[in-house]
Amino acid sequence: MGVNQQFLAAVEAGRKQLGPVADQRLQVLARQLPPPDGHGPVPPAFTDGDEAPPPDPAEAAEGLAALRQRLDRCQWLRTDLTYKVGQQRQPNQARHQRRRWAVRVLGPLLAAPLPQPDWLAPGGPALPLPPYPRATPDAARDTHWLEGLALRLAATTAPLSPAAAALARARLRGLEAEIQELTAAILEFEK
């Protein structure tokens, strides 16, 4: 109509009057009202006893296909969310945290060369001997192991935050309810 809500509220309260342009637009709309106020079409008489017309077979098949497609999608989403929520159990979270720690902390440590004690220095080596003398570092093997650990870490789902886990559980309950309703609708549709 070309007027904002505040102006229309002022007109309804009687504080202002509509201009000629808005008045003309309202009269065009009023003409579309059903009689006795306007000249528009008479609305159909709806009663509680009226039954819907029989469905078109093509529309029925299309509607059934849409219901089945949505049911398949909801079932897939439920499976995915069930897996994600299942990954939130304590052993999986601890495993993910250990792997993340190993990739972050051990990577730089394994890449750095170990200090070699100077055996020929007077009075013996100045640096203390490594705590595990039989643990000989093998940079290639250690780096390969760490890269594999990083790949496994990237392939696993990260633990959800408590809010995200609660939201996932709520979505899961909603999907289960939708699956029940869609299954009932499909069974009713096929009768």
For residue range 49-70, list pLDDT tens digits in order.
656 666 677 788 888 999 999 9
SS3 at position 175:
helix
SS3 at position 37:
coil
Q: How confident is the model at residue 139 (pLDDT cuts 50, 70, 90)?
A: confident
**Is it the case that residue 182 has pLDDT exceeding 90?**
yes
What tens digit of pLDDT does each residue of 80-93 get?
A: 999 888 877 767 77
| Rounded Cα gap, residues 129 and 23, in angstroms | 96
To the nearest whole number, what is the mean pLDDT of the chain?
81
The reply to whether omega before 36 is within 30° of 0 (cis) is yes
Both tokens of residue 178? 């939708």
What tens digit of pLDDT does each residue of 141-151 get?
A: 888 888 898 89
**Is it the case that residue 191 has pLDDT exceeding 70?**
yes
The model carries a pTM of: 0.46
User: Cβ distance 71 to 183 under 8 Å?
Assistant: yes
Instruction: Give residue 185's pLDDT.
Output: 92
* Domain assignments of the chain as residue spans, ordered by start: 1-42, 55-88+160-191, 94-110+137-159
Angle made by CA atoms 76, 80, 81, in degrees to the nearest 5: 115
